[in-house]
Amino acid sequence: MTDGSDDQPIAWTAIGQHEDVFSSDGERVGRIEEVLGTGEVGIFHGIVVKPHRFEHSVAVLAQDVDQITRSRVTLKVAKADVDALPAYVEEHIFSLGVKGIFRHRPGWISDK
C-alpha cells in the first residue's frame, strides 16, 4: 500500500476492484467493492466501499470522490462521514426495450 502521492490520476473506468479507499483525513476507510456508473454514456455515479470484512458496504457518491489513482481512491469526506453512511442496497435497473410474447411492444425490461 502506498500513500498515493506519486500516483497519476486515472479515469473512473480504470478503477480496480479491491483498490484502497481513503478519507479526506487520511484514514483508510475500506476497499472498492463496485464502481457505479453508466459505461455506455460515461457517467460516473460513485463507488461502493466495503469498510471491513464483517461490516456492510456503503455507497459514496461521485461528488464525494476527490481523486482516483492506480493505487487508491481518496474521498472529499472524513472517515466519520463514511462510517455514518447507510448500508448499500443494490438497485434493480430497467431499460426501455421491446417486450411481449412476440416482442412487438415497447416496455421496461430488466438489465440483469
Nine-digit cell string for 21: 479507499
Q: Tell me, what's the pLDDT at 33?
A: 93
Q: Is the dihedral angle over the CA atoms 81, 82, 83, 87 positive or is it negative?
A: positive
Quick one: pLDDT at residue 17?
A: 85
Higher pLDDT, 101 or 59: 59
Q: Domain-by-domain residue ranges, the chain?
A: 12-89
**What pLDDT does residue 99 have?**
65
Instruction: Please check the confidence at residue 30 and state whether its pLDDT lies above 80.
Output: yes
**CATH code at 12-89:** 2.30.30.240
- What are the pLDDT digits (tens) for 61-95? 999 999 999 889 999 999 999 999 999 988 766 66
